[in-house]
């Protein structure tokens, strides 16, 4: 049976959400709260039962739909075991496998952007969250980010995957939708460094603005998307 696969886009935060389905079951990766109704409609259209909703890390630029999806569908919510969100149903360990139908993913601990970032690996593709972007990498200057940990995650974990592995990132700001490990190794400017020290110096020099929704998103996402009432 063929896998159902959809790449969905939330324009304000330039976030990609991924729907994977097999044998009437589905999982969502990095769902955004403002698109909750869209996800529910798509699940109905494709006749899929949502089994898992997973976040690659605690997002700072949008509010997650994990809690709402669990309320609406009864799905199990997933994040890495290092996350601080006490509301998550199940915490994944590095190397732990999960999936639906004939789809199997493996949790790969890839800290650096945050200290609880995970990527999700399949046989032919990897969902990298903010650890590895197309022609970029996740910033490391807040949420317990660490450029040295990011370097290790990139060069000693993600870039060890086969070159033909498809890369599906958590965000893209230029309209790119997919890449490969080999393509990023060759053409991603942040992966041309010679050492962890050089990578850390490059990331320190970026001076990036704070995400617009950070003050709302991070506290809400620690509660699986529950925004505090004023």
Q: What is the β-pairing status of strands 97-100 and 90-92?
A: unpaired
Say which residues have a Cβ less than 8 Å from residue 120's Cβ, sequence separation at least 6.
Answer: 29, 54, 56, 105, 106, 107, 108, 126, 127
Residue 229 has pLDDT above 70, yes or no: no
Map out the domains of the chain as residue ranges: 4-221
pTM: 0.96
User: Torsions phi, psi of 181, nearest 5?
Assistant: -60, -45
- 177-204 core/surface letters (b: 16 or more CB in 10 A; e: else): eebbbebbeeebebbebeebeebbebbe
Average pLDDT over the chain, rounded to whole? 96
213 CB burial (10 A radius; 0-12, 13-18, 19+): middle
Q: What's the pLDDT score for residue 201?
A: 97
CA angle (48, 105, 83) in 5-degree steps: 100
Confirm if 63 and 216 have CB atoms less than 8 A apart. yes
Superfamily of chain region 4-221: Ribonuclease Z/Hydroxyacylglutathione hydrolase-like (3.60.15.10)
Q: Give 1's pLDDT tier (boundaries 50, 70, 90).
A: low
Q: What's the pLDDT score for residue 230?
A: 43
For residue range 128-158, list pLDDT tens digits in order: 999 999 999 999 998 999 999 999 999 999 9
Q: What's the pLDDT score for residue 86?
A: 86
């Amino acid at each position: 049976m063929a896998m159902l696969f959809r790449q969905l886009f939330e324009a304000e935060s330039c976030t990609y959400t991924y729907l994977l389905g097999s044998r009437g079951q589905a999982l969502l990766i990095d769902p955004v709260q403002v698109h909750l109704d869209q996800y529910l409609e798509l699940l109905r259209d494709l006749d899929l039962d949502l089994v898992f909703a997973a976040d690659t890390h605690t997002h700072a630029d949008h509010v997650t739909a994990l809690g709402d999806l669990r309320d609406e569908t009864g799905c199990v919510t997933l994040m890495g075991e290092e996350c601080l969100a006490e509301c998550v149903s199940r915490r994944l360990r590095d190397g732990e496998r999960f999936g639906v139908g004939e789809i199997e993913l493996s949790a790969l601990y890839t800290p650096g952007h945050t200290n609880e970032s995970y990527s999700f690996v399949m046989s032919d593709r990897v969902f990298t969250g903010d650890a590895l972007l197309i022609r970029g990498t996740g910033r490391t200057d807040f949420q317990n980010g660490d450029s040295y940990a990011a370097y290790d995650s990139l060069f000693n974990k993600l870039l060890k995957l086969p070159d033909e592995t498809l890369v599906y990132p958590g965000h893209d700001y230029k309209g790119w939708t997919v890449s490969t490990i080999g393509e990023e190794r060759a053409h991603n400017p942040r992966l041309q460094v010679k050492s962890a020290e050089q990578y850390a110096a490059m990331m320190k020099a970026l001076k990036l603005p704070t995400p617009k929704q950070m003050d709302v998103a991070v506290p809400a996402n620690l509660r699986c998307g529950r925004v505090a009432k004023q």
